[in-house]
Amino acid sequence: MDWEIEAYCRSVASLSPETVRAYASDVERFAGWAERGGTTGPSGVNRILLRRYLAFLATRRYAKATISRTAASLRSYFGWCTRRGLIAADPSVRLTAPSPDSRLPRVLGHAELDQLLDSASAAPPPGHTGADDKAAGPPSARDLRDDAVLELLYGSGMRVAELCGLDVADLDLGRGVVTVTGKGSKQRQVLVHDRCVAAVRSWLAGPRMSMAGPGSDSGALFYNSRGNRLGARDVRRVLDRRSPVPTHPHALRHSFATHLLDGGADLRVVQELLGHASLQTTQVYTHVSKERLLSVYSGTHPRA
């Protein structure tokens, strides 16, 4: 019997491309393992087999986060199989896995952010004395694009996939508002500050079209060097060029949330801006803020 993994992937196409790829990989890996044991399709799978598989992953020293995601992938897949009538009962109901180790997200300091976000036109290279201003010339189209990308990520807290999916039509720069399509195709509006608006306007004023090609998506806000819509890997390269230390793009989202809370923002406001369905997801940033407060207290109080 066919596992019908391609049909399953089409059924979850509304999720982010990264999530779809992860789910497909998890299900394909399980199907291959099950077939080596003689199970040729979802109808031959029971709860015991699923638990054996998760135990197998643990013996192979897979990370807890990977095992937990695999359990979620299998629950999604077998739930779909049940709805399609491929199996009579869902063997993955209440399938659990070890919770991944809790790790506080990295938050960039203000000095790091200043260095990262200083635009190419405003931030001279190390060792620059001013004598070669004319030789340096104006910032390139790529520089202005990178400015706008980084300002948007930190200024709005949007996810990288959300930024890459932006169209020019999603911008209302006059009001400082961007319409973002998040997980599950849910739309929300995020706010952007004046410096972010200025960076995006500079990108739209000419550099954007200079990076577009004959086959470019005419509505896309950002393009890569090949004229295609900017992708997650392209954004990672932007950070690699601009950050003095290795920095994941998601750190800008973490920093956005933590700095808002440090400044006194209400947790539910931050939840709305981040697009979190559950307040519990947003609460991790309160732990980050407490860690930073403790660090400041320990380092400054004379009795600490």
Contact 78, 53 (CB under 8 A): no
Catalytic annotation, pick one of 69, 75, 145, 159: 159
Amino acid letter, 95? L
183 catalytic, yes or no?
yes
Annotated catalytic residue: which of 145, 208, 253, 259? Answer: 253
8 A C-beta contact, residue 178 and residue 137:
no
Contacts of 83 (CB under 8 A, 6+ apart): none
**Phi and psi angles of residue 196, each rounded to the nearest 5 degrees, phi first:** -65, -45
- Residue type at 165? G
Q: CB–CB of 248/231 below 8 Å?
A: no
Residue 253: active-site member:
yes
Give the strand pairing for 177-181 and 171-172. Answer: antiparallel
The Cα 138–Cα 143 span in angstroms is 10
Q: Cα separation of 160 and 152, whole Å?
A: 10
| Catalytically annotated residue among 47, 183, 248, 292 | 183
Question: Which member of 51, 142, 248, 250 is catalytic?
Answer: 250
Cα atoms in the 13 Å half-sphere on the side-chain side of 227: 9
Main-chain phi, psi angles of 156, to 5 degrees: -120, -20
**Three-class SS state of 287:** helix
Q: Which residues are catalytic?
A: 159, 183, 250, 253, 276, 285
